[in-house]
């Protein structure tokens, strides 16, 4: 996996109707252009009549044409005949990742820290928040912080300012690191499959507000967190990653919140990492996450 | 923990309004009657005005009175002044455990096997089922099997027969080891806090039928199972134990069912074990499960 | 994954020096013979100068030649030019699995039960043991049981009888389901990569005898089990699967043994399942286990 | 658990030869002085002739004497007759925690962050390191940072300076947050049971240097981390906490290091938290960690 992050590799992501010959066509194409495959994963919902998904990581070294030529040729020679939806991303293009946060900064800090330690291949052009609290932390990492308060008379204006800000910065990914504002359908549709949220419960359990209180009330023996893409329906988007921890009758709500912070941080970081490495494909309301 | 299962120990379970002096009164009483405490656990929902729960395991050796005298004295000297709900159970009284099952026999087999290997301190006077399939397996363990089919014109008659059977056998515990029939409120109220069910999902996710299909549809990354006491509300009873396994887009519904079997077996066995060792207290719609 | 077990599929396993064009050559060959790829996984220790591993599952339906012709052609057209080590196995050839056991029957029972429930695609022609105890259990599953006691004057004779028995039955796999005898190098070399053992610790911790006693002495907070291929060095063979459970100061050795049984059963069953589905490749003293 | 951290509570830790009447004596004493027990846990290695351990959390509110009088009375009335080793610590005395670190700052940062978020009840008077790298991070938290480089001609001088520094600051606990220097026996004996180290493997596997390399070589399927008290024998001290993550053939050594960082951080933080809450008792070369 480490080799995948070398600057000199590209990732090809494909989905198309399943039928014989797809792997042969793609691998033959890559080989004919001098590229060696480093890793490949595939999945089919059903070999007869289902959808086929593939991720291939290949070396750019040895490529006999430019990137643009390669993409153009792939489109006409392979993708079109197989009716593929596809994209190629390059490991040397570090994805621009905007982070939105409210008051709780544990998820934010985890991402900033992983970025700094080199675990997360992201460029973070901005952090925005409806609260001023995270400002000093963000700025200590040398990242611009934008305080966009929500006015009492409605959040429309704030969201507009946020959209303008994002338009300027052109993020590839927007991470809601405990951003406690619901985004409008217009906002969401502007960034399809590009907004990741962390929900502090094991979805579909405890949708909506105060999930730790709900978990405490129900007396569950395990709590969790869920990272998912944001869609118009609250907490219903495609799930990318989940994890859990065992709890008992001894934990108060306050304890659940504390234990939960540990899970939230890790689950969100893993999901963001998977997205940044182009390991996630969305299919209807579910995800394929390649290892 | 192993020592707890020695025949010569008893378990005292208490719940009462929390106030100072409870532990002192109980431990002083035990000491004054020559009994040594082997293990003690306690929990309080809130030290001021909450409910206090305690489990004490103590040696019967050295007791200066009979069991009956001891219980009587405890009732008047300790329990009454503190308004305790309490019970004492003796490790040498092996609990009578009836098992109800439908077609899937994995949970049943796990219990029978743990019983035989000595891991489960249960006497199993009967297994009953609405299907005949499990008969040979059960009888190979030397346990009576009762086939009580559900007639097309209603399940009332079957439940009546089942109740009669249970009345004769006087079980301390009834385990629904994937028993796919909903018990009537009358049945449930006959055995309050004495019926354990295994639900094949991580509750409160996927209440009701076909939880693995629901989990597959939702695209969760972790599936689970839940053992709980049965109450009138479907899948809403106090949760005793839960566990989970990681899954991915690769697993079909059939795979989830297979992986799930492994979790169901273990979760149910752990919950039954906890109940048989008197480690579970029910408080409102939740449980306290002492280690 | 479920589809993989359909009778009409085959599994191709390859290892060879890594170099460009392998995937293209294999997938092109399959496509040219009318076969659709159902699943493919690959791994490379190092794309320049390393070893490449691949598992491909493909449909036999549509194959334009016989299996024998297909294999012959693959050998000359693809395998030879790439210096591949390879094998093809067919889902409709259920692997013959011999089980050796001593006194503890929990791992044995788990395998027998998974076989009967259909979770394990194995034919079990025999169970052999140096103790008579497991006989009735094994025979209740309709499987021949062989009691081969170890004589006080040495185990050579017993091992010879065991080898004769195995020669007659031609197993594809031999599972040591808590078989407490060390096999001679001659025995092991007769079945290279075909003998799976379960060791009741988290290797490399607690090699050798009485691992739960060792774990208790050391005061570890997590115990485990390890399934591995057997080699001449005790407990040093390639690891296939491991799992763990959390324990505490409360657990006695007897408790560790009991908790451990649960882990041993599951770890061994998963390893055997992986082997039977041709998901394991051995490379030097390690394994590649494809999902 | 949350209530335990209220300033108005104290924790009593006891170990003594097990015999009847201990709980009665202690709880009676507390009750007689007007103190209510909030939580109690106990453990006995063996009720006849073993060692008894207990932790009791009690409210100071209502105490009819001063803390000093209370301790004095407890010593003579209860502790002496039962030959107890005991201590009382007060939740309003926040423990002084010195942190030593080398180059890797992930464990350090986790502790600093948990301190700031209020999850860790510690005062951190100093961080010392043999490398200058962590300085800016530490100082951004307002904590004094001491760079004590190890000279090429020996580490004696550095350790002396470190000891002097610690003597001045009087820490209750010293945390080696990936401090890559071995402490001398003299240093260790100065702080018995007060130095916690994080080892980046699942002990007793992979003692000593480069454990991730060792794990990679052995081909384990699960890696781990271990927090333990430091004793004279390298990596042999009493284990406080361990945790693990599943890995596969896909992970390179670099990947193991990255995954491992996540485990190390959490395991060390949990161990430090347990120590700070007086939940750990050392018995010979093992620990009792109360929940």
Facing A262 at nearest CB: one of D1, D261, D266: D266
Cα–Cα distance measured from residue B217 to residue A234, given in angstroms and rounded to the nearest whole number: 17
Q: Give the global pTM.
A: 0.95
Q: Cβ–Cβ of D255/A109 closer than 8 Å?
A: no
CB-based contact B38:D42 (threshold 8 Å):
no
* D2 has pLDDT over 90: no
Read off the pLDDT of each residue in C205-220 and give the average, rounded to a whole number. Answer: 94
Q: Do C20 and A35 touch (CB under 8 A)?
A: yes
Q: Is the ipTM of this complex over 0.95?
A: no
**pLDDT at residue A153, as a whole number:** 79
Q: Which of B220, B249, B286 sits opposite A288 (nearest CB)?
A: B249
Average pLDDT over residues D42-60: 90
| Run of H or E including D224 | strand D222-229
Per DSSP, the residues of chain B read: -GGGGSTTEEEEEEEEE--TTHHHHHHHHHHHTTPPEEEEEEEES-TTTSEEEEEEEEE-TT-SS-HHHHHHHHIIIIITTTT-EEEEEETTSPEEEEEEE-S--HHHHHHHHHHHHTSS-EE---EEESSSTTHHHHHHTT--EEE-PPBTTBSHHHHHHHHHHHHHH--SEEEESS--SPPPHHHHHHSTT-EEEEESS-TTTT-SS-HHHHHHHHT-SEEEEEEEE--SSTT-SPEEEEEEEE--TT--HHHHHHHHHHHHHHHHHHHHHHHHTT-EEEETTEEEE--
Q: What is the pLDDT of residues D191-233, one digit of tens each?
A: 999 999 999 999 999 998 899 999 999 999 999 999 999 999 8
B288 Cβ neighbours under 8 A, 6+ residues apart: A249, B43, B53, B280, B281
How far is the alpha carbon of B8 from chain A, nearest alpha carbon, in Å?
29
pLDDT tens digits, chain A, 291 residues: what are they? 556 767 789 999 999 999 999 999 999 999 999 988 888 999 998 877 899 999 999 999 889 999 999 999 999 999 999 999 999 999 999 999 999 999 999 999 999 999 998 989 999 999 999 999 999 999 999 999 999 999 887 789 999 999 999 999 999 999 999 999 999 999 999 999 999 999 999 999 999 889 999 999 999 999 999 999 999 988 899 999 999 999 999 999 999 999 999 999 999 999 999 999 999 999 999 999 998
Query: What is the percent of chain B with per-residue pLDDT over 90, rounded to a whole number?
Result: 87
Among the partner-chain residues D202, D248, D288, the one whose CB lies closest to the CB of C205 is D202
Q: Do B219 and A244 touch (CB under 8 A)?
A: no
Give bridge partners of residue B55 from the DSSP assignment. Answer: B13, B41
Q: How confident is the model at residue C6 (pLDDT cuts 50, 70, 90)?
A: confident
Would you say how long chain A is, in residues? 291
Bridge partners of B242?
Answer: B226
Per-residue pLDDT, averaged over C220-242, amounts to 95
Instruction: Give the pLDDT confidence of C120-151 residue by residue, as tens digits.
Output: 999 999 999 999 999 999 999 999 999 999 98
**Angstroms from B25 CA to nearest CA on chain D:** 8
Alpha carbon distances (Å) from D90 to A3, D11, D114: 52, 6, 21
Using a pLDDT cut of 90, give the percent of chain C over it: 86
- Whether the Cβ atoms of residue D208 and residue D248 lie closer than 8 Å to each other: no
The whole-angstrom distance between C150's CA and the closest CA on chain B is 25
Chain-chain contact of B222 with A205 (C-beta, under 8 angstroms): no
Q: Span D153-157, mean pLDDT?
A: 85
Give the gap in angstroms from C-alpha B255 to the nearest C-alpha of chain A.
13
Q: Chain B interface residues facing chain C, Cβ-Cβ under 8 Å?
A: 1-3, 106, 109, 113, 117, 119, 140, 248, 250-252, 254-255, 258, 261-262, 266, 291
Predicted local confidence at residue A1, as pLDDT: 56
Catalytic-labelled residue, pool C119, C235, C243, C278: C235
Beta strands at D145-147 and D127-129: parallel, antiparallel or unpaired:
parallel
- Give me Rg for the CA atoms of chain B: 21
pLDDT at C3: 66
Q: What pLDDT is recorded for position A115?
A: 95
Task: Out of B203, B243, B249, name the one closest to residue A287 (CB).
Answer: B249
pLDDT tens-digit profile of D97-114? 999 999 999 999 999 999
pLDDT at B25: 96
Residue C185 has pLDDT above 90, yes or no: yes
Nearest one of B160, B164, B125 to B144, comparing CA atoms:
B125
Closest CA to A58 of A82, A79, A31, A76: A31
Q: State the best of A5, A20, A25, A245 to mutate against chain C, taking most chain C CBs within 10 Å.
A: A20
What pLDDT was estimated at residue C202? 94
Neighbours of chain A (3+ CB pairs under 8 A): B, C, D
| Helix (H) / strand (E) containing A112 | helix A106-117
Query: pLDDT value at position B241?
Result: 98
Contacts A–C by Cβ distance under 8 A: 63
Q: How far apart are CA D147 and CA D134, in angstroms?
A: 9
**Which positions in chain B touch C252 (Cβ < 8 Å)?**
1-3
Alpha-carbon distance D121 to nearest alpha carbon in chain B (angstroms):
22
Active site residues of D: 235
The pLDDT of residue C92 is above 70: yes
Mean pLDDT of B203-217: 94
The answer to whether A278 is a known catalytic residue is: no
What are the chain C neighbours of D205 within 8 Å (beta carbons)?
202-205
Nearest CB to C255 within list B2, B248, B250? B2
Interface residues of chain A, partner chain D, Cβ below 8 Å: 1-3, 106, 109, 113, 117, 119, 140, 248, 250-252, 254-255, 258, 261-262, 266, 291
Task: State pLDDT tens for residues D248-257.
Answer: 999 999 999 9
- Tell me what pLDDT residue D1 has: 56
Residue D245 has pLDDT above 70, yes or no: yes
pLDDT tens profile B86-145? 999 999 999 999 999 999 999 999 999 999 989 899 999 999 999 999 999 999 999 999
Residue B47 confidence class, pLDDT cut points 50, 70, 90: confident
């Amino acid at each position: 996996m480490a080799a995948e992050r070398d600057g000199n590799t590209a990732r090809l992501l494909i989905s198309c109707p399943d039928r014989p010959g797809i792997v042969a066509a793609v691998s033959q194409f890559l080989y004919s252009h001098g590229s060696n495959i480093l890793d490949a994963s595939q999945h089919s919902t059903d070999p007869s009549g289902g959808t086929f998904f593939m991720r291939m990581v290949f070396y750019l070294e040895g490529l006999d044409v430019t990137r643009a030529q390669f993409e153009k040729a792939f489109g006409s020679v392979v993708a079109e005949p197989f009716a593929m939806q596809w994209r190629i991303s390059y490991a040397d293009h570090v994805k621009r990742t905007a982070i939105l946060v409210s008051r709780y900064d544990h998820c934010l800090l985890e991402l900033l820290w992983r970025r700094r330690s080199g675990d997360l291949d992201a460029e973070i052009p901005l952090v925005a928040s409806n609260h001023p609290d995270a400002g000093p932390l963000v700025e200590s990492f040398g990242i611009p912080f934008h305080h966009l308060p929500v006015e009492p008379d409605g959040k429309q204006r704030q969201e507009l300012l946020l959209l303008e800000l994002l338009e300027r910065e052109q993020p590839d990914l927007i991470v809601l690191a405990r951003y406690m504002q619901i985004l409008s359908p217009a906002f969401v549709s502007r960034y399809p499959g590009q907004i990741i949220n962390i929900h502090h419960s094991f979805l579909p359990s405890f949708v909506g507000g105060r999930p730790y209180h709900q978990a405490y009330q129900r007396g569950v023996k395990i709590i969790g967190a869920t990272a998912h893409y944001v869609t118009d329906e609250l907490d219903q988007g495609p799930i990318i990653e989940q994890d859990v921890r065992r709890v008992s009758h001894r934990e108060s709500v306050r304890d659940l919140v504390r234990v939960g912070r540990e899970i939230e941080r890790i689950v969100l970081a893993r999901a963001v990492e998977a997205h940044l490495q182009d390991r996630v494909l969305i299919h209807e309301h579910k995800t394929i996450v390649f290892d």
